[in-house]
Amino acid sequence: MKKILLGILAVALLAALSGCREKVTPEDRLADYISHWNKGDFTDMYSSFLTQETKDAFPEEDFADRQQKLQEDLGIHDLKVTYQKPEKGTKWDKEEPAVFPVEVKMETAAGPVEFEKEMTLLHEKQGDDENWFVEWDPSFIFPDLEADDEIGVTRIEAERGEIVDRNGLPLAKNGTGYNIGIVPEKLTDESKKAEIAGLLGTTVEAIDAKLNQGWVKPDLFVPVGKASADDGELLDKLVAIPGVGAQQTKMRVYPYGAAAAHLTGYIGPISAEQLEKLKDKGYTETDQIGRRGLESLLEDRLRGTDGMKIYIKKTGEGAEPVTVAETLPENGETVKLAVDAMFQKAAYDAMKGEPGAAASVDPKTGEVLALVSSPAYDPNEFILGVSGERYQALESDPDTPLFNRFAQSYAPGSAIKPITAAIGMESGKLDPAEGLTIDGKTWQKDASWGNYRVSRLHADAPNPIDLNKALIYSDNIYFARQALDMGKGTLTEGLKKYGFGEEIPLDLMKLKSSQISNDGSIGSEGQLADTSFGQGQMLANILHLASMYEPFVTNGPMYKPTLLLDAADAEVWKENVIGADTAAAIRTILRNVVLDGYAQSANLPDIPIAGKTGTAELKSAGETSGKENGYFVSFNPDNPAFILAMMVESVEDNGGSDYVAAMSAEVYKKMTEGR
């Protein structure tokens, strides 16, 4: 009897406990479903929460796999789904659907997406589970998305910013060119491939590789090369071949070609290494990227940001696509340089392809008006596609057109003598009016110098030799003796005032520093003598050399060189380098150098030019003579709008530094005519 009573009590207790347990409401189920949704747990959502009718209509791959893939492909993140809570005390009828307003917010690669919908839950039994289940369709992914629709993504390419000169003339611009392609079924004569390859500067093997790509079909246009829009003759020859066509395409264009090549650089396809490094910045394997020069250095400013569009491709005939999200592209910045493109071209053309470098600055602001390396390559060739054979030819060219000379430093020779003179005058140890008696072609202080002697080119210079004659005749012995009187400390400290041994503070580009010597000091009297006239271990960068002549025009300060036009003008690099009296004296003498000296090619009838030539002898140990680099650094003392420094290698058989003076004179004439 007791056992029966205990059983009845147990059943009663279970019934009581069951009555106390809260029933699961549709709100509970929706909250749980949305929690999974926000976490991206699409598999659990499918298996545990969807109505049977929904599962019958949409297999798991159409629900879970699709949404997971869309999150990855569309860059969906920060998903936030919320629902509107029902009124307190709402009664739920299992026979009636439970409807809740929901709000969906997310970020995508194409921008934010936000929409509202009503979500319905039905009470039903699935196996042993009786509960509330969610009705679902694809419109809960994106509004207007139906079962058979597809989602598309379009990348909207940003325009690359252009590089323009101080007057707005483009140095690197967005232009057009042509993709040259072959329609395989129309190329009936296989032997024509060799002709096509020859015209495009490629190989038959390279053309075949493109024609054998997996996507190629007989009737499709297959790009095999590029051609400039300006090369009408080439285009005519190509399209005359049956099966060859041309399609216009966007193309980077460098209007000044080789004249500005080492300045602008060029763009090219992104490499696998660059892509791995920059993939977090949105680059893809089809992108172009700056490969050299300013195109590379200004990449972040020029590139811009691509736009993105996510849309629904409707299946109905004639149905328009529905935009889900769209971010417009932000085009790259147009960067304006202080460079004068016409000046740049005039300097490059004047050098006639001779190996060398040139630089020009505005002496009153430090703005860089030209920065030239000669010879150079044509960056447009690299845009069109340089064959391995052509690149090898450029690399093996003895004049090294791929080598950027304006970024290097060289022995400046006698072009440094005005600087030495100014240092001596400012120190009070050089009196420009005091003459020295110098006889013979060579000189040494005493026998302690051993075999070392200072040589001069013009032993016929009339005594006494003052500073004016010393610069006109470029007398090494005069400057060696003055340097000995100054002493190592005075010359070293004086050169440091001009920026020797420092990084050249040029914005954007890094140039090799000028040096007094390998270790920055002067170790012997012989080295002191050599340094005074720009030999020994002294090296100077061509742009720095132009800047060093600024104090002769400004009566004191030397400015930081700037490539960007919007950079702060006239930012002083070195203050009070020399006084006004020293500057005036040097100006007058540099004019006399051209009038009476050995730069007669720069003695123009209508343009007064002041300047100093220089010849730096480069010889290996044991050689009695070697190659000579020629210099001419100059300005117009009546209208000092610019200082031009030019260096040409191996002038020993071309008349020496006057050869460079003649090239510089051509620049003055062109710029005067141009203005």
Q: Give the separation between CA 206 and CA 197, rounded to whole angstroms.
A: 8
How many CA within 13 A on the CB side of residue 323? 10
567: its two tokens: 């950079």
Task: Look up residue 520 and give its amino acid.
Answer: G
Q: What is the DSSP string of 335-356?
A: EEBS--HHHHHHHHHHTTT-SE
Contacts of 125 (CB under 8 A, 6+ apart): none
For residue 1, count CB atoms less than 10 angstroms from its CB and return exposed for 0-12, middle for 13-18, buried for 19 or more: exposed
Contacts of 138 (CB under 8 A, 6+ apart): 58, 145, 146, 147, 149
Bridge partners of residue 645, in order along the sequence = 359, 633
Q: Give the separation between CA 161 and CA 51, rounded to whole angstroms.
A: 54
Q: Give the separation between CA 608 and CA 606, rounded to whole angstroms.
A: 7
Phi, psi of 119 (to 5 degrees): -110, 130
The residue among 404, 328, 334, 318 whose CA lies nearest residue 154 is: 328
Assess whether 296 carries a catalytic annotation. Answer: no
DSSP tag of 141: T
Bridge partners of residue 49, in order along the sequence = none
Options 360, 414, 514, 634, the catalytic residue: 414
What's the N-to-C CA distance of the chain in angstroms? Answer: 125
Report residue 2 CA to chain centroid gap.
95
For residue 191, count CB atoms less than 10 angstroms from its CB and return exposed for 0-12, middle for 13-18, buried for 19 or more: exposed
For residue 205, count CB atoms less than 10 angstroms from its CB and return exposed for 0-12, middle for 13-18, buried for 19 or more: exposed
List, by residue number, the catalytic residues.
414
